[in-house]
């Protein structure tokens, strides 16, 4: 009898160990699933930040439900054409406010606007002189963080700032900890490709301290700043990123 009870006890212990292992695997799978969902949410947020909808406003004091109007991009073909309930999209994802046509709203929405959508747009009513009812100057910006790298130089530490893939072209400058503008070693290196600008600016410092590279895009009222701390031997101790978004009425 004693031996049989000992066998049953060992079996119960084995079952308990198996259940514990199974529970641990289940928790790991659940954790991985939660991490995957978090990653998907971050990717979705990134896409929303990269691509935003843009409204081109145009309103008239009469119903446009049975009217003819179109949107044109200057020096380009039509992007939207409406006539008595029928419409055509020539640009792609361009939509109008169908429920507000009766109140005279002829505005359109450019979905997921990109840098290439920048330009001058006109809203036209051919049957109601003057034909042009709205003129919109659209600038779709691409703001990028300045990237700092440090290099040894014969007369100090060379600070190199790169702002890649920006639009409109950013104004780049170096600042010390007091906000004073540092003289660059040479004129900025600027290149343009695929509707984006790459800017590289270099300066040499001889003292330890905080230094910032600032990229300003006045047309879209945007400013990015990356800060670094330089020690005398040229080692980087701290790197921080600052974001400043300026309102349209705030002077840069």
pLDDT tens track, the chain, 252 positions: 444 554 454 555 444 444 555 566 677 777 777 777 777 776 655 555 455 778 888 888 888 898 889 898 887 778 888 888 888 877 667 888 888 999 889 998 888 888 888 888 988 888 876 665 778 888 887 778 899 998 888 888 999 999 998 988 999 999 999 999 999 999 999 999 888 899 999 999 999 999 999 999 888 888 899 999 888 654 444 455 555 544 444 445
Instruction: Report the C-alpha gap between 200 and 23 in whole angstroms.
Output: 54
Q: What Rg do the C-alpha atoms of the chain give, in angstroms?
A: 30
pTM here is 0.57
Q: Are residues 130 and 184 in the same domain?
A: no
Given 108, 138, 168, the domain boundary residue is 138
pLDDT attached to residue 73: 87
pLDDT attached to residue 147: 92
The CA-based angle 184-241-117, given to 5 degrees, is: 85
Give kind and range of the element (H or E) at residue 26: helix 2-50
pLDDT attached to residue 179: 93
Given 117, 138, 159, the domain boundary residue is 138
Instruction: Report the C-alpha gap between 173 and 100 in whole angstroms.
Output: 47
pLDDT attached to residue 176: 94
pLDDT attached to residue 197: 93
Instruction: Report the C-alpha gap between 191 and 196 in whole angstroms.
Output: 8
Q: Are residues 189 and 207 in the same domain?
A: yes
Q: Are residues 200 and 124 in the same domain?
A: no
Q: Are residues 234 and 164 in the same domain?
A: yes
Domain that holds residue 78: 52-138
Q: Are residues 66 and 122 in the same domain?
A: yes
Q: Establish if 188 belongs to a structural domain.
A: yes
pLDDT attached to residue 40: 74
Q: How many domains does the chain have?
A: 2
Q: Are residues 153 and 241 in the same domain?
A: yes
Q: Establish if 184 belongs to a structural domain.
A: yes
Given 98, 121, 138, the domain boundary residue is 138
Do 166 and 196 form a contact (C-beta atoms < 8 A)?
Answer: yes
Instruction: Report the C-alpha gap between 197 and 206 in whole angstroms.
Output: 30
In three state form, how does the secondary structure of 61-96 look? CCCCCCCEEEEEECCCCEEEEEECCEEEECCCCEEE
């Amino acid at each position: 009898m004693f031996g049989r009870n000992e066998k049953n006890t060992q079996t119960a212990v084995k079952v308990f160990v198996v259940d514990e292992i199974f529970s641990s695997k289940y928790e790991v799978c659940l954790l991985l699933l939660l991490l995957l969902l978090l990653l998907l949410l971050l990717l979705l947020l990134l896409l929303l930040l990269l691509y935003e909808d843009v409204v081109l406003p145009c309103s008239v004091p009469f119903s446009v439900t049975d009217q003819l109007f179109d949107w044109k991009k200057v020096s380009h073909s039509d992007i939207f054409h409406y006539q008595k309930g029928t419409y055509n999209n020539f640009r792609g994802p361009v939509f109008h406010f169908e429920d507000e046509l009766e109140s005279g709203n002829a505005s359109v929405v450019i979905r997921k606007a990109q840098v290439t959508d920048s330009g001058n747009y006109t809203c036209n009513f051919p049957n109601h002189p003057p034909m042009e009812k709205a003129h919109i100057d659209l600038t779709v910006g691409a703001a990028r963080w300045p990237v700092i790298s440090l290099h040894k130089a014969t007369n100090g530490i060379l600070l190199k700032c790169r702002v890649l893939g920006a639009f409109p072209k950013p104004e780049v400058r170096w600042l010390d900890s007091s906000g004073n503008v540092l003289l660059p070693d040479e004129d900025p290196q600027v290149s343009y490709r695929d509707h984006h600008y790459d800017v590289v600016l270099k300066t040499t410092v001889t003292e330890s301290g905080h230094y910032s590279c600032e990229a300003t895009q006045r047309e879209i009222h945007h400013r990015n700043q990356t800060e670094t701390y330089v020690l005398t031997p040229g080692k980087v101790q701290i790197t921080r990123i600052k974001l400043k978004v300026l309102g349209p009425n705030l002077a840069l």
